Chain A
């Protein structure tokens, strides 16, 4: 990917990153090449447009939500943050589990995908927005409402008369995934 890539990656930086993320040296170098490839403006950080410029990613119905999960804290992502975020999807192996790719870390990422207003809880509106993005205009609102209410009830959320107060907390969210093999479904080889 050109000769400019590894010029900023020093051995000590690589060492810090391997300890933090659990990636091997080879994987870090490969990720850095990828980062440099995406960083067309050579600014050392990625912005939302850089991810949207990946054609195969931009046609994914979840692309906007994934981008928001990536840019959760700021509008720019440097290489350390990029590698840390991607390390969430490393497979869980006893020797190299970090706080990011353990079960909790993966579920946290999934939670962020749904948490549109970033308030730490999932409301009906959050679900509406995510599911609307997923299904487009092909499903009627009433049907979708039923499905969402059912999912929220099954999560054990409090149902009050006041619609505004229905939400799913992180712990309730985590509980619904108790029987799901998160380790396999939210992991991939690097």
Chain B
């Protein structure tokens, strides 16, 4: 009897004083930074062990002599092919020089198209964005191990200890904090619903309470978030746009500022959270793919922003989660509204946890569980200066401009492709249009007869 009470008291007091109180006070950041630094040291140490063993087993990452010389040759080839890319057959040159046009076709004219096709089979810019990216170091999680081969006893011991640490200590603590966050959300909602809105300090109270909910939620993932340029934080009546990697993006951003959320209505656990949040402030949830809903959404957005007193709306214009290495096409909907846009770039450090949610592979609860058993959630949030649509800019151009701003700041690749192709194939219309563009390029560099007017297949975005 006695030992049980003792253990329980010890457990509870560690939890309350070690986690909950500091979480409320927001004071554990230094401790968490120290933790991150040492975890990183551990990864580097393990990487050394792995490399040592790989070398002994012959599973080398080190290049053999043959591989080194072949890589050098490839580099030379890469350089020379770059120069040759616009290589035109001599009869095309003649035609261009004003000599009699001589329609001609050689069997190897299709070589550039063929090589382009093969290189996209081998590697392309788009499909890789919907999978978790690889890290340079192994972060001691079996979910990311590339060589699940026995390496060394030392490594196994370290891995086992890290397992105990993450599953035996971190996980229960985090679940408790997460539950505390949920409990606090329900309690705060209750209080805020009961309080009359006309009270002068209602807004401040709301801000403190709801930010605290998200502080606790992010604490439960051991988040170490660095906010840059807080002077650019979104203000009332504006729209905040950010790149999307995981549902926790909203929590991470709400740590620092209060937003009205807009997004797809989910089922299950996330749907429940959405319903609770709905009680205290106006959020906009819609069904994905409902075009009638989309117009309604834009109308509601306009209404929301034009009153000026409402919280800034948080929007993820990509519409779906991307793996944080690139930014995909922004939907133009929210860029049509005449209000200030506050761009935000979020960059996660994937070494400590893979924040990307592959919604077609993992349910939300499984994803949460993966996050709760990871090391930590390290990310940088960059607030970019507010911007408005320029007079000669249409919504699509504006969306692209904001997208490049975010991509540049976050060090992400700026892609024109629609993130929705994660779920379904490219629409046939768009595919044919893009293919026609490729055909145009091919015709221009060949000596085939051309009797078409060069139609205006200018900007892809105007079609997309």
Contacts and interface: CB of A to CB of B under 8 A. Distances in A.
Interface of A: 1-3, 5-7, 11, 24-26, 29, 31, 34, 37-38, 51-63, 66, 86, 89, 91, 93, 95-96, 110, 113-114, 130-131, 134-136, 138-140, 143-144, 146-148, 150-151, 155, 173, 176-177, 180, 182, 184-190
B127 A138 contact: no
A139 B120 contact: no
Given A55-B124, A113-B110, A180-B108, A135 B117 contact: no
Given A56-B126, A62-B114, A143-B103, A189 B132 contact: no
26 contacts: A3-B142, A6-B148, A7-B148, A24-B67, A25-B59, A29-B146, A53-B127, A54-B126, A54-B127, A56-B126, A58-B425, A58-B426, A60-B117, A61-B435, A61-B438, A61-B439, A91-B74, A110-B111, A131-B448, A139-B452, A140-B451, A143-B103, A180-B106, A180-B108, A185-B108, A189-B77
Interface of B: 59-61, 63-64, 66-67, 70, 73-75, 77-78, 80-81, 84, 103-108, 110-128, 131-132, 134, 142-148, 417, 421, 425-426, 431, 434-439, 442-443, 448-452
Contacts of A5: 146
Nearest to A122: B107
A155 B127 CA distance: 40
A93 B120 contact: no
Contacts of B118: 66, 86, 89, 188
Contacts of B81: 184, 188
Contact of B114 (A59, A113, A138, A144): A113
Contacts of B144: 3
Given A55-B124, A110-B114, 7 more contacts: A6-B147, A59-B437, A91-B74, A180-B108, A184-B84, A186-B111, A190-B122
A59 B59 CA distance: 38
Given A62-B110, A91-B74, A186 B122 contact: no
Contacts of B121: 51, 54, 57, 66, 86
A135 B439 contact: yes
Contacts of A114: 107
Contacts of B74: 91, 189-190
A139 B114 contact: no
Contacts, number: 184
Given A176-B107, A182-B108, A1 B134 contact: yes
A135 B122 contact: no
Nearest to A114: B107
A8 B80 CA distance: 37
A61 B31 CA distance: 57
B393 to A, nearest CB: 27
Contacts of A138: 439, 443, 450-452
Contacts of B146: 3, 5-6, 29
A53 B425 contact: yes
Contacts of A95: 66
4 tightest A-B contacts by CB?
A: A189-B74, A59-B434, A57-B120, A138-B452
